[in-house]
Structure 1
Amino acid sequence: MTVTKLESVMKTKYKVFLDGEFAFVLYKGELSRYGIREGIQVEDELREKVMNEVILKKAKLRAMHLLEDMDRTESGLRDKLKQGLYPEEAVEGAIQYVKSFGYIDDLQYARRFIESRKHMKSRREIYAQLCSKGVSSDKIELAFEDCYEMGGEKEAILQVIRKKKVDPTQATEEEMRRLYGYLARKGFRYDDIRQVIQNYNENA
């Protein structure tokens, strides 16, 4: 493989292209240490050395740092590493590294996510949010089974009504129509909405 281009990312940091394809990012001192400059031939042995000694090591450290900042899904962590210009090989290695310590677990993430939101949001809304974070549908369904009892959304409906400051026992027909519409758009089932409103005095 030939180093076809070194592209400056910042003053001391460069993208390295091998045979016209982006390979990895190195600092100026690392380029010097491994003798990498435009036009030279890079043998597989040298590429592997750079990947293992520099790129993969950095990717693992970056992954650990990102998980210190906040809880993440596997997909979310993968995206952040790619944004940091780590090649796919290093991203996969870093993912497997943090997985080996149990630092990312999409099922546990989904459980925590649901528990923190189930009293204010519908299952449908939570499901959509978890999907957007890259959690697989089978893990979401398993997490729902763990976190919800029968009729578990009724408390969330009650909390939304309280937040809207609408008293169903005193509301006009128009206010009730708007309330039903709002709750339906939030993803709550009609039967659950009706039961909560009918029994509002008992729950309030």
Structure 2
Amino acid sequence: MTVTKIEPVTKTRYRIYVDGQFAFILYKGELSRYLIAEDAEITEETYETIRTEVILKRVKLKAMHLLSDMDRTEGQLRTKLRQGGYTEDMIDAAVDYVKSFGYIDDEAYVKRFIAGRKDKKSRREIYAALCRKGIPKEQIEAAMEDCYEKEDSCGAIRKILEKKKYDPATAKDEEKRRIMGFLTRRGFSYDDIRQVIQVSEWNA
């Protein structure tokens, strides 16, 4: 095995290529410790020692730090670790490690996400936000079935009407059309919007 390229990432970190393939990122002191230099030979034993005793420990600690910093999905964690320059097999190992402690649970994450937003945003907005976080559509749909009742959507609409200071007693037809258009664009169903507005008018 031959170190074919050493590419600076920062002043202290270097991207190492072995036999033409990206292998890992090492710090400057580690280059000296493991005698890493361009065109130098590297034994399989040294290569595996670096992977298991340096990189694997580092990626596990990085994953733990990222999860202590904020709640993340598995997809988000994988993205951050890739940005850190870790290979897919090391990322897999780190994800398995944090999962073994229960630090990643996408199903619970999705339900918490929905519960914290369902009285402020439409289902469509929440669905889109979870898709952007890399949650599979089937998992989102299943969680929504568990978390949503019709009243949730109507409650969110009522909160928006209150925030917009929509008064059914004084609203003119143009204002009513405008607010219905706004709510429709936010992803609320026409039936739910009409129900809330009609009830508000009756109670006005």
Q: TM-score, length-normalised on structure 1? A: 0.95
Consecutive aligned runs of 4 or more in structure 1 exceeding 3 Å deviation: 201-204
- Which shifted more, 53-62 or 17-26? 17-26
SS in 2 for 1:24: strand
Residue 11 (structure 2) pairs with residue 20 (structure 1): no
- Which shifted more, 30-39 or 77-86? 30-39
Corresponding residue for residue 126 of structure 1: 126
Q: What residue ranges of structure 1 are gaps of 5+ in the alignment?
A: none
Q: TM-score, length-normalised on structure 2? A: 0.95
Corresponding residue for residue 33 of structure 1: 33
User: In the TM superposition, what whole-angstrom CA distance separates every residue of 1:10-68 from its partner, at most 9, and x where no partner exists?
Assistant: 22211101122221100111112222111122233322211110111100000100111
Residue 109 (structure 2) pairs with residue 102 (structure 1): no
Give the percent of matched residue pairs that are identical in Structure 1 and Structure 2.
Answer: 58
- Which shifted more, 69-78 or 12-21? 12-21
Corresponding residue for residue 146 of structure 1: 146
Opposite residue 132 of structure 1, the aligned amino acid is R
> What are the residue-to-residue correspondences of 1:183-198 with 2, within 5 Å?
183-198=183-198
Structural RMSD (CA):
1.5
Distance 1:197 1:94, change over 3 A: same
Q: What residue ranges of structure 2 are gaps of 5+ in the alignment?
A: none
CA distance in 2, matches of 1:33, 1:105: 38
SS in 2 for 1:102: coil
CA distance in 2, matches of 1:195, 1:172: 18
Corresponding residue for residue 114 of structure 1: 114
Q: How many residue pairs align between the two structures?
A: 204
CA distance in 2, matches of 1:163, 1:21: 56
